[in-house]
Structure 1
Amino acid sequence: MGINLNPFTWWTGASWGTMLYGLRGMAQMGTDQLGNVYYEGGKDGSGRKRRWVIYEGANDASRVPPEWFSWLHHHIDDVPDRALPPVRAWQKPAIPNMTGTPLAYRPSGSLEKGGKRAAATGDYEAWTPEG
């Protein structure tokens, strides 16, 4: 099913048309740790070079690491490997948006956690306009 769907879909990765025609004349600038490939070439309406990402896997913008996000949006001029300092040992790697997955954040009291929340402590006093 994947090979038959690829010419027509964009949500499961780049279509054949993008790979054959859309990236013609574009220079490959780099690859991130998730396998996304970044391109640059052509000009946009304001005269800046256009920058592109071809996702490895599902097209999800939260899967672009912060350093490549900066490059895509022209916050830095050169690719992150040359423009930014090396990653520090204490820095955690970026993670994609986990909404809709089993790893999503679910606070206590949410339906996915059983719908039970801690009892009120009694120190809450509701506001009334007369008070």
Structure 2
Amino acid sequence: MSLNRNPFTWWNGATLGTWLGLRGKNRMGEDSLGNVYWEGGKDPNGVLRRWVIYSGSNDASRVPPEWFSWLHHQIDAAPDQALPAPRVWEKAAEPNLTGTHQAYRPSGALEAGGRRARSTGDYEAWTPEA
């Protein structure tokens, strides 16, 4: 936490109030992106509260699937205890890349040059009289 950078801003990570609210809560673990997961207290329905403190920008797509299932009470224990080890063929989770230079841009997108392949002879435009 950078005390000078984000004492009152939530979009760069946790605010000072959030860090103070973590007193007495249990740190459950950390993922490969550096996000830290916490548990403690109960909501008005009696369900145990769980939350994440992001490392970097607050973007929910940066939560890996195993921690997503823990946050949403689909598994009870931390993922490293409740889930089997990842398979060799599994790909690592990627955050949403929209708005970045790594975002997918199809061949006709303006950012990718704005030119697409000409249509083949199998396309016939619709007309209302037809």
State the match for 2:43 in structure 1. 44
- How do 1:83-102 residues align onto structure 2 when only pairs under 5 Å count? 83-102=82-101
Give the TM-score normalised by structure 1.
0.91
The separation in 2 between residues aligned to 1:64 and 1:4, in whole angstroms, is 26
State the match for 2:24 in structure 1. 25
State the match for 2:104 in structure 1. 105
Which ranges of structure 1 fall in alignment gaps of 5 or more residues?
none
The separation in 2 between residues aligned to 1:47 and 1:129, in whole angstroms, is 60
State the match for 2:11 in structure 1. 11
The separation in 1 between residues aligned to 2:3 and 2:23, in whole angstroms, is 22
The separation in 1 between residues aligned to 2:44 and 2:87, in whole angstroms, is 37
The separation in 2 between residues aligned to 1:46 and 1:126, in whole angstroms, is 57
Q: 4+ runs of 1 displaced by more than 4 Å?
A: 128-131
Percent of counterpart pairs with the same letter? 71
**2:114 pairs with 1:115:** yes
Offset at 1:114? 0.9
Offset at 1:80? 0.5
The separation in 2 between residues aligned to 1:118 and 1:6, in whole angstroms, is 48
**2:108 pairs with 1:125:** no
The separation in 2 between residues aligned to 1:79 and 1:104, in whole angstroms, is 31
Which ranges of structure 2 fall in alignment gaps of 5 or more residues?
none
